[in-house]
A = this chain, B = another copy of it.
Amino acid sequence: MGGDFAPVNEIEGALLAALEKTNELEVYVVGKTNTINEILKKKNSQPDNLFVVNADDVISMEDSPLDSYKSKPNSSLNVSLGLQKDKEVDAVISIGNTGAVLAHSVLRLGRIEGINRPTIGAMFPAPDGNIMVFDVGASVDCRANHLYEYALMGSIFFSHIFNVKNPKVGLLNIGEEKTKGNELTVEAYKLLENSKLNFIGNIEGRDILFGKADIVVCDGFLGNVLLKFAESILGILKARFRTHSEKNIFNKVWVGMMYGTLKKILADFDYQYHGGVPLLGINGVCIIGHGKSTPLAVKNMIFRAMEVVKKDVNKKIQEGLSVNS
């Protein structure tokens, strides 16, 4: 019930997923039953593997993540996590208040043993392959061992979901040398260097989009600012082309002709393109998406969650913790 167009896009996405994977997927749509059933009725479609579960409370973008845990016990988020806690479902996806998803997941499902800080990873634009940044906002004041945990969880997620053996881990810094940076990165460098991860050293801001590392590790404050900055690039380019096209009719026609090529070349700058991102480190599976996610994006998030469950990423994180420590 938390997305910008809730619950329409959530339901349409759930329908797409349920219809595409009839035999291997059960989708539970959690929220106000009346509203959900009305939409399903209009769609004239309720596949056998789609179930509706009632939840009367709605967490808004303005709600405090922590307060809403107590004040809205019957939120769609909390009821969904309850289903996962009770092993009725294997994963939860949400396009609502990210802070609430994070806080409620930790409170309701707990953390993986040995993990101090769960992390949210994000996909960055990459024409071929994938680039992920950890953390993009789960924690804002980090210590070095948290960065190490992000690198470990990110590597395991990345290698299993994208089938890349030993993905390259880069520590986001202001210079390449080992001694560069602030207290946090100097300390984190040592931990990463002594781990069994495929640590390629420090990388700089300019290296990210060129894919120097598969996994970029930084504190959640920096990652969050950077993610939002990166997400703004497409809008900035669009606005500039619009301004240019409005100058005269020739420009208008010309920009119109360029549009298709630009759209193709910059497709992955559209955050819709990547679907959801994982919340790693909790005792469960949770995929988080943009509030504006389209039904297609919601469907892809569900499939991503299926993959994380099937490949038992959490178990592999636990194994990784013991191997690397």
Binding site for B on A (CB under 8 A): 125, 127, 137, 140-141, 172-174, 181-183, 185, 204-210, 218, 220-222, 224-233, 235-237, 239-241, 243-244, 254-255, 258, 261, 264-266
Contacts and interface: CB of A to CB of B under 8 A. Distances in A.
Contacts of A226: 205, 225-226, 229
A181 B140 contact: yes
A237 to B, nearest CB: 8
In the complex, the 4 A-B pairs of residues with the closest C-beta atoms, listed nearest first:
A205-B228, A205-B229, A206-B232, A205-B225
A68 to B, nearest CB: 15
Given A244-B261, A254-B261, A258-B258, 11 more contacts: A140-B181, A174-B221, A174-B224, A174-B225, A181-B221, A204-B228, A205-B227, A205-B228, A205-B232, A206-B229, A229-B229
A237 B102 CA distance: 34
A258 B264 CA distance: 14
A265 B240 contact: yes
B266 A137 contact: no
Contact of A174 (B137, B207, B218): B137
Contacts of A173: 225
A210 B244 CA distance: 16
A231 B228 CA distance: 16
B183 A206 contact: no
A206 B182 contact: no
A228 to B, nearest CB: 3
Nearest to A228: B205
A166 to B, nearest CB: 25
A134 to B, nearest CB: 15
Given A182-B141, A225-B226, A261-B255, A231 B206 contact: yes
A224 B172 CA distance: 11
